[in-house]
Structures are given as C-alpha cells and as structure tokens.
C-alpha cells in the first residue's frame, strides 16, 4: 500500500487552513492532532526565507531543496518566499554542491545544521510551535493584491 505525500514528513504535523474563497489568505499551522512531543521539540521546525528562483536553502556548501516532505511553503509568486521547514526531514534530503556564483539576491545560507537548530529553538522560545499567517490585501483601485505576514516568532527581518 502506497503512503500519500500528504501523510509523510512535515504533512503529518502541519496543515494549510484557508481563510478566504481564493485560497490566498491562510494559516500554516500545526494540526490539532499532532503529537505534543513533536510540537514541543524546540529544534525541529524552523520558519525561513528563501529566494523564489532558488527553491532551496544552503547549509554549509550544499543546496537542500525544499519539497513536500521537508517543508510547507508560502508566497508562490514572490521573489522572497517563506517556508516552515522540518529540520529532521531536511537532513535526510539529498544535497547538491553550491557555488556562490549562482547566488541570487535572496538566497539564504547557513553555516551548519546546528545553526538552523539554534534558530529554530529561538523561534520556538519567541512564539511556541511555529506558524505563519498570510493575509491577502486587495487594492480595488489598481486591482492588485499584496500580502501581509504574521509569524509566530516575530518579524521577517529576524529570520535570517
């Protein structure tokens, strides 16, 4: 019997709760039935930014791609994106060499996984189990939409 991607990795613990009919206002938050020992692991989940062109973060000199198993992403069509990452799953992800010549404006780089776990611990201490609220704000005059973000750990500039 095949296991669905929806029940593997981070999807066991997190879900996207839509707040409007368009699906662009939502909460990325822990599931009600997620085990407390997992949610209270201070160094398991991390909110991070990444470049929309990259779709990966750099740890050491290696690229780790954010996928459905190790992360839940926000901001589909933005240059700088947000994700909640399961660090235990990210460690298991195949890595690829990273060359600085391919760095984009918002490519996020970390020295080690210990640095990631330390950041995750700080985020947990600031706001408990990480969550993200994406709120779509429509401008009726221009017909455009922009997004506002509320993070469990504070402001965007405190992430990386």
Domain range for 120 is 5-158
Residues 6+ apart with CB under 8 A from 43: 87, 117, 118, 120, 121, 124
pLDDT at 156: 61
For the chain, first and last CA: distance in Å? 40
Read off the pTM.
Answer: 0.88
**Per-residue pLDDT at 69:** 96
pLDDT of residue 7: 66
The pLDDT value recorded for residue 20 is 87
Per-run averaged pLDDT (10 residues), the chain, 160 residues = 65 92 89 94 95 93 96 86 96 95 93 96 93 92 90 69
pLDDT at 85: 97
Query: How far apart are alpha carbons 128 and 43 in whole angstroms?
Result: 11
Domains in the chain, number: 1
């Amino acid at each position: 019997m095949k296991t669905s991607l929806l029940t593997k990795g981070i999807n066991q613990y997190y879900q996207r709760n839509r707040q409007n009919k368009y699906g662009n206002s939502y909460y990325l938050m822990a599931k009600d039935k997620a085990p407390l020992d997992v949610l209270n692991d201070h160094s398991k989940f991390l909110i991070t930014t990444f470049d929309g062109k990259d779709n990966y973060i750099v740890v050491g000199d290696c690229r780790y791609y954010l996928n459905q198993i190790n992360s839940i992403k926000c901001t589909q069509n933005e240059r700088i994106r947000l994700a909640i990452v399961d660090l235990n799953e990210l460690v298991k992800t195949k890595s690829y060499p990273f060359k600085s010549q391919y760095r984009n404006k918002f490519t996020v780089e970390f020295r080690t996984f210990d640095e990631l776990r330390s950041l995750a611990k700080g985020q947990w201490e600031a706001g408990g189990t990480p969550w993200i609220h994406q709120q779509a704000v429509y401008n009726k005059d221009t017909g455009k939409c922009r997004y506002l973000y509320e993070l469990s750990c504070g402001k965007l500039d405190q992430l990386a």
